């Protein structure tokens, strides 16, 4: 199987990035892989990468602190089998999986948690130690099969983790505003996972973001230093292939072109 190159771009401020550093996979092709990252699973102080490959396998790639990962040290992500929880969730059936960071700080260390689209449902998959997941549960009953998930963090400044979902059938993007988890008052505020799958909590974030117009969307965090998470998006334009979309709470500001040609060949960004 041919090797598929993938690249990381160091931020240059203002939504831009410096010239890429290229890395080649050493475990076959990355074609069709989905990438996500938000949290340190290996407790070494560095944010790690999680990839769902086209064959349905999910792998944890530990970050070495230099922005590089290796198939040599990767670990298969599995679901912790709790006899009292019944049959564990089969994550190989997840069409999409995104890391949200730790939704309940102060209760389970700093283990990142995940959302996944399985069938037509949205599932919450709590993170467990050692690169494993607890068996999850659905928080969105239907209508998720045609949605693309984006994990921006706290978009509205209330200290809770929000979720973005793009409806691929019409290009509408919805912001699912989080509600607080009922926790001990001495703990840090936590996010109620169920609130991220509840249509009653969503507000319209953007329109016209069809797959043709904006093939790929990612939210890397606060890029321009204004305290609000930002987004990047690839486009169909050969001369404006990557755009920076500054976060504005419940929406985005004017797009800024930060990448020109070649972005149409990119199949995943995170």
The model's pLDDT over 186-232, given as tens digits with 9 standing for 90+, comes to: 556 689 999 999 999 999 999 999 999 999 999 988 988 899 999 99
Pairing of strands 78-80, 132-134: parallel
pLDDT of 109 reads 58
Q: Which residues pair with residue 138 across a beta bridge?
A: 123
> With contact defined as beta carbons under 8 Å apart, do 24 and 5 qualify?
yes
> Does the pLDDT at position 20 exceed 60?
no
Residue 246 to residue 224: CA distance in whole angstroms = 8
The model's pLDDT over 153-171, given as tens digits with 9 standing for 90+, comes to: 999 999 899 999 999 999 9
pLDDT of 24 reads 46
Residue 181 to residue 58: CA distance in whole angstroms = 28
Residue 39 to residue 37: CA distance in whole angstroms = 6
The model's pTM is: 0.86
């Amino acid at each position: 199987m041919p090797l598929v190159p993938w690249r990381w771009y160091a931020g240059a401020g203002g939504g831009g990035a410096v010239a890429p550093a290229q890395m080649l996979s050493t475990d076959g092709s990355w074609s069709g892989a989905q990438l996500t990252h938000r949290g340190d699973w290996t407790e070494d102080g560095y944010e790690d990468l999680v990839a769902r490959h086209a064959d349905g396998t999910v792998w944890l790639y530990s970050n070495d602190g230099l922005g590089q990962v290796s198939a040599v040290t990767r670990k298969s992500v599995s679901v912790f089998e709790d006899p009292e929880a019944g049959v564990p969730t089969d994550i190989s059936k997840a069409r999409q999986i995104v890391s949200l960071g730790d939704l309940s700080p102060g209760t389970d260390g700093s283990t990142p948690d995940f959302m996944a689209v399985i069938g037509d449902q949205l599932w919450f998959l709590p993170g467990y130690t050692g690169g494993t997941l607890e068996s999850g549960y659905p928080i969105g009953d239907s209508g998720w099969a045609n949605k693309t998930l984006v994990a921006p963090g706290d978009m509205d400044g209330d200290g809770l983790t929000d979720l973005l979902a793009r409806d691929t059938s019409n290009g509408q993007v919805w912001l699912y505003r989080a509600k607080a988890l009922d926790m001990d008052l001495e703990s840090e505020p936590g996010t109620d996972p169920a609130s991220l799958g509840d249509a009653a909590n969503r507000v319209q974030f953007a329109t016209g973001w069809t797959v043709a117009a904006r093939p790929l969307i990612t939210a890397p965090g606060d890029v321009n230093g204004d305290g609000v998470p930002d987004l990047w998006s690839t486009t169909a334009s050969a001369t404006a292939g990557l755009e920076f979309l500054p976060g504005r709470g419940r929406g985005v500001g004017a797009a800024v072109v930060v990448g020109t040609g070649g972005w149409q060949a990119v199949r995943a960004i995170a």
